[in-house]
Structure 1
């Protein structure tokens, strides 16, 4: 257990940084300083008291990233209650189920999400409030909370008759072992897994973000990853507020054009990104530019190719604002070709690894020390890892971790908890990989997706897909086993086909050519027998991972 405590870190940060900007909505141009944010938290604490909220009670939260989403989150955990952030991509049925399964008694919702919620399906919720301005949207019995909110200014002045000062930024002592968050990675009604994260779990991640200077007093960040997801929450939000960082919120992952505009305006010091965005930029902008005329010729000439790489790196750096220390990719594996290219041009990027069950960070390395194809070094002093393999450096095995970041368990699901956390406290991640002598992890794939070949070879379809996804007219792919043979399902990139003048009837021919090239890049036991065109994009989880189980038949 850590000696530091997240609630105490926030109390200290909010006092010391009270004059600095804390939260800004990029589109609404609405901002809160640290002191203004603290005042809004104090008002919500009054509301929680009026609603009879007790320590350990659950508060559900769904909406796009905005300052009030952040304020509700912080107000809840500094009160001693438990926040239940819900991914905005969940279906209404899943949202109802999560609210009920978590035993949430209050709900804060963005207006468009509230319109999809049926109050008859969330009977234990006492009241719901809007993330637009915290007005009461619904009250199950009477209208006392609605009246309270209409008079919140008067109530606030009564509580602080001499005015709210930095001394009033004082939060109760909340033990590190207390659950602070229940995070649902799936909304499936038949088997819900609400990850219980403690104050200690969050503290470890936040401390790492502050002590490693990912964030610092007065630094800037553009937050566009969903804050209901562990990666964005920890490093775009929680660690940033503990350091005194100014967070500019974009609401949700924007188009590349809007993202680049925002980066140019804010000039962030750190960029947390999902690989999908880097891969799109590489495939749609960088790679085509390198395959044209003079540039293509220059790439074949020693020294000139170095100049081309430097030029590409400078343009990419400027498009992200130009002032960032590094770009951290996480949340999913980074395509190997994209990673190799970014490393070749000396772009300031690194790749981390984590799980929601670890709030989320397990491994990370500063970009200057980053080893390509790895996902960083296991966090020293916070986490430890082992590979379930007779030779962890050479033979892949399941990655198991334990330490300060490992969850308390799955809410109301002790059986699922026992299946992943053993008696010695090791969390079995379900990821397969190796680890070198300095504790740097190299992930091969998911144990559930691994395919065992007829001659006993372990095949990791993700590695094959990463090569196929960079080929002509491939938007996304999935390698599956059919009748003992490997088949690649491909959803074509019709936009790229149109630009290249490839007709619909010729796409299968292009895929057959892709197959021949692919099979020269993989091991003999990894060769694909055919590529099948898939009519639609593959169905995905809210975290944008393909639901493989739907296609393994």
Structure 2
């Protein structure tokens, strides 16, 4: 069934799964659905006692933990609007979001409380410590009695305003209604069915639409339990959790598996000249990948049946390894504005470098297709679409076509089976000297296959393509031969791309790239830097 609102979904899960575990922090006491409901009622009382009403905005700034979800449901089940804020946002960005969203109250975890300047705290009606639901500030805390009847949301009411981090410089507040989110959750059932016996291990920020919808709301609806890692997913923290939790479902971003492949699998099989030569033989490489895949499966607890990868496109070499290894990975494609999923490829029905087919109930078209390549902008009609950008009518008008299709600004092509192949962002596309379209993401995918490259970014400078490259594990011997290393990377890449996509220069990025909370490179920062350098040199 499709729930009309998140309140209906919440009530059904609390009633149906009362004694089951809902959420837990790794190594801490689990919270049952019944316990969870008691915490939600406490949080509701605090909000109402400060005079908050239906439609008021409540910000949530915290790391992933059970009480993050308590705060979320306390807000949305009373028709108030939750404003999740990514913990990695700067102080200026957090203050700007609090002001722009007109948030009257704030749930915040201890470490992030320091990011809120005194003047911003003074403007809030209520501040609640998220860890234990204790009031720690606010000019209207406890001013009124709790009403006998709590407000309730309607399907078209706003549930959340999510400020996107993105790879562009200006976050926008995406408005999602109860109906949009409930539609998305219902549609997920046809893609991946989740059962009460499943166990999620969560390693991504809940403030992101991907983790919030697929990794929190969906398992909660199905009576499933979710374990939060509680720390950044480094090998030191993740491996013990995988061993003990033995998850059946995980949601990740490409960079996590790409690091495992390049720094462990690939590095091990190319460690000396003999192994490197053998590894180049396709059928031997597949055998080695299969062996490594079995070990990887056991490392992830030996029960994983759905390993979701989303947020950006996965590197081709890493995906080839996963296919050879028969690791149960699935690919998803979507945006915050679509709540978020649009398409997906669920194991074992993956297809190399495809994000899969469109979900049932969603329509997709490719606009302004290139006659030669078939590449066009992905435009969508979905019952999960946002209501718009909060207080930003100009962005709204740019986001939708005259006939009502949402412009994703992603470039893709589709095959006869309806599978989508994302090529890059419309804003990232580079127009070559003879008018051809160049997709930097495709070139970067090839650069990242080089054994010495950790990650890369391709930009245009003075009409030529330049690759910014980060090489994390370069030893001193290779560092002394850096010019030869750069030449080797250039030759490697240019032998695999078309004439118009060839790189003319390698520039080393010494300290890695600055990223969004979902580990995508903030491309605009480096594009601006290169543009400024180009202008200075031309003066």
- What SS is found at the alignment partner of 2:514? coil
User: Which shows bigger deviation, 540-549 or 523-532?
Assistant: 540-549
Deviation at 1:471, TM superposition (A): 1.5
Contact 1:100 1:124 in 2 (8 A): no
Deviation at 1:538, TM superposition (A): 2.6
Query: Against the structure 1 CA distance between its residues 507 and 473, is the aligned structure 2 distance closer, same or farther, given a 3 Å change threshold?
Result: farther
- What SS is found at the alignment partner of 1:474? coil
Aligned to 2:31: 32
- What SS is found at the alignment partner of 1:502? helix
CA distance in structure 1 between the aligned counterparts of 2:372 and 2:53, rounded to whole angstroms:
49
RMSD: 2.6
Deviation at 1:41, TM superposition (A): 1.0
Aligned to 1:337: 317
Deviation at 1:448, TM superposition (A): 0.8
CA distance in structure 2 between the aligned counterparts of 1:264 and 1:46, rounded to whole angstroms:
39
Deviation at 1:54, TM superposition (A): 1.0
CA distance in structure 2 between the aligned counterparts of 1:292 and 1:506, rounded to whole angstroms:
19
Note if 1:63 corresponds to 2:38: no
Note if 1:532 corresponds to 2:507: yes
Q: Deviations over 1:187-240 (max 9, x none)?
A: 999955100011122112222334544421231100110000111111111101
Of 355, 359, 373, the residue aligned with 2:335 is: 355
Contact 1:59 1:84 in 2 (8 A): yes
Query: Against the structure 1 CA distance between its residues 192 and 323, is the aligned structure 2 distance closer, same or farther, given a 3 Å change threshold?
Result: closer
- What SS is found at the alignment partner of 2:348? helix
Query: Against the structure 1 CA distance between its residues 489 and 406, is the aligned structure 2 distance closer, same or farther, given a 3 Å change threshold?
Result: same
Note if 1:243 corresponds to 2:222: yes
TM-score with structure 1 setting the length: 0.89
Query: Against the structure 1 CA distance between its residues 377 and 315, is the aligned structure 2 distance closer, same or farther, given a 3 Å change threshold?
Result: same
Contact 2:366 2:378 in 1 (8 A): yes
Deviation at 1:292, TM superposition (A): 4.1
Contact 1:195 1:409 in 2 (8 A): yes
Alignment of 1:463-542 (within 5 A): 463-493=442-472, 496-498=473-475, 501-542=476-517
Alignment of 1:122-271 (within 5 A): 122-141=121-140, 144=142, 173-186=152-165, 191-271=170-250
CA distance in structure 1 between the aligned counterparts of 2:5 and 2:418, rounded to whole angstroms:
27
Aligned to 1:424: 403
CA distance in structure 2 between the aligned counterparts of 1:476 and 1:79, rounded to whole angstroms:
45
Aligned to 2:534: none
How many residue pairs end up in the alignment?
A: 527
Deviation at 1:186, TM superposition (A): 3.9
TM-score with structure 2 setting the length: 0.92
Alignment of 1:438-457 (within 5 A): 438-457=417-436
CA distance in structure 2 between the aligned counterparts of 1:549 and 1:301, rounded to whole angstroms:
39
Of 497, 518, 528, the residue aligned with 1:543 is: 518
Contact 1:488 1:532 in 2 (8 A): yes
Deviation at 1:172, TM superposition (A): 6.1
Contact 2:290 2:324 in 1 (8 A): no
CA distance in structure 2 between the aligned counterparts of 1:107 and 1:11, rounded to whole angstroms:
24
User: Which shows bigger deviation, 302-311 or 98-107?
Assistant: 302-311
Query: Against the structure 1 CA distance between its residues 91 and 41, is the aligned structure 2 distance closer, same or farther, given a 3 Å change threshold?
Result: same
Note if 1:281 corresponds to 2:260: yes
Unaligned ranges ≥5, structure 1: 149-154, 160-169
Query: Against the structure 1 CA distance between its residues 139 and 397, is the aligned structure 2 distance closer, same or farther, given a 3 Å change threshold?
Result: same
- What SS is found at the alignment partner of 2:30? strand
- What SS is found at the alignment partner of 2:319? helix
Contact 2:197 2:224 in 1 (8 A): yes
